[in-house]
Amino acid sequence: CFPENTDLTATLDLYFQLCSIEVTCESGSVMAATLANGGICPITGERLLSPEAVRNTLSLMHSCGMYDFSGQFAFHVGLPAKSGVGGGILLVVPNVMGIMCWSPPLDKLGNSVRGIHFSQELVSMFNFHNYDDLRHFDKKLDPRREGREAQAKTVVNVLFAAYSGDVSALRRYALSAMDMEHRDYDYRTALHVAAAEGHLDVVRFLLECCNVSPTPRDRWGGVSMADAVLFGHSDVAQLLREYELKY
């Protein structure tokens, strides 16, 4: 499995040198945090590894860092990690943090029993697993989100789609179970924006397919039909008037 002209003795010499490096929980945690931080040491601010080296290292850790348990660890934990027969597990949560666990009791594959248990408990509480960020998978805590950031992002996406007349995007948001009556800080909805811009197809989609209220009021008491009239969109105003009578 070695490339041609490889010096096996030199390779083994390097391997044994690497195996002889002493690592403590403190130094190991800094190594893990440096990998999580894209190769920049979080203590000194110095770049120690190139982005490519970090990517390659994390890929190897994810695929084979836990000996014969690597496949199951990738499935259940979904994070790059490296274990050692001394009882340590170096765990990386990219763009978040690095963790160094140490607990000597090992399982039959040479991995720390408590270290693996800790890793599993960590991803059971937080959405750190590689595939926990999939849409609709939001039952776990996400410390990377600040306060109402998720809701604010939803509002911005919906309102900008309404502003640009993008019915396809709005349909995707509706199918993703987004609240199509979300309001911004001025209490304006996608219907307000679409009516003001004269996007008849968007207004019809919101009314007919999303069943939004035709009479939401913004901060100043304005309704969607008033916006349509103000900006001269008579066809939109007529549609809203019809729905107001039915509502």
pLDDT at 139 over 60: yes
Q: What is the pLDDT of residue 143?
A: 76
Type of residue at 83: S
Q: What is the pLDDT of residue 153?
A: 77
* pLDDT (average), residues 56-61: 97
Q: How confident is the model at residue 164 (pLDDT cuts 50, 70, 90)?
A: very high
Contact in structure between 158 and 193 (CB atoms under 8 Å): no
Q: What is the model's pTM?
A: 0.65
**21-125 shares its CATH topology with 147-245:** no
CB atoms within 10 A of CB 124: 12
The whole-angstrom separation of Cα 189 and Cα 165 is: 14
Q: What is the pLDDT of residue 158?
A: 95
Q: What is the pLDDT of residue 60?
A: 96
Q: What is the pLDDT of residue 149?
A: 63
Q: How confident is the model at residue 142 (pLDDT cuts 50, 70, 90)?
A: confident
The residues spanned by each domain of the chain are: 21-125, 147-245
The whole-angstrom separation of Cα 237 and Cα 234 is: 5
| Strands 97-102 and 81-83, sheet pairing | unpaired
* pLDDT (average), residues 35-44: 96
Q: How confident is the model at residue 235 (pLDDT cuts 50, 70, 90)?
A: very high
Average pLDDT score, the chain: 92
pLDDT at 150 over 70: no
* CATH assignment, 21-125: 3.40.710.10
Tens of pLDDT along 167-213?
999 999 998 888 999 999 999 999 999 999 999 999 999 999 999 99
Give one DSSP letter per residue of the chain, joined into a string: -PPTT--HHHHHHHHHHHHT----HHHHHHHHHHHHTTTB-TTT--B-S-HHHHHHHHHHHHHHTTGGGHHHHHHHT-S-EEE-TTSEEEEEETTTEEEEEE---B-TTS-BHHHHHHHHHHHHHBS-STTTTSTT--SSB-TTS-TTHHHHHHHHHHHHHHHHT-HHHHHHHHHTT--TT---TT---HHHHHHHHT-HHHHHHHHHTS---S----TTS--HHHHHHHTT-HHHHHHHHHHHHH-
The whole-angstrom separation of Cα 49 and Cα 53 is: 6
Q: How confident is the model at residue 41 (pLDDT cuts 50, 70, 90)?
A: very high
- CATH homologous superfamily for 147-245? Ankyrin repeat-containing domain (1.25.40.20)
Q: How confident is the model at residue 245 (pLDDT cuts 50, 70, 90)?
A: confident
* pLDDT (average), residues 140-161: 78
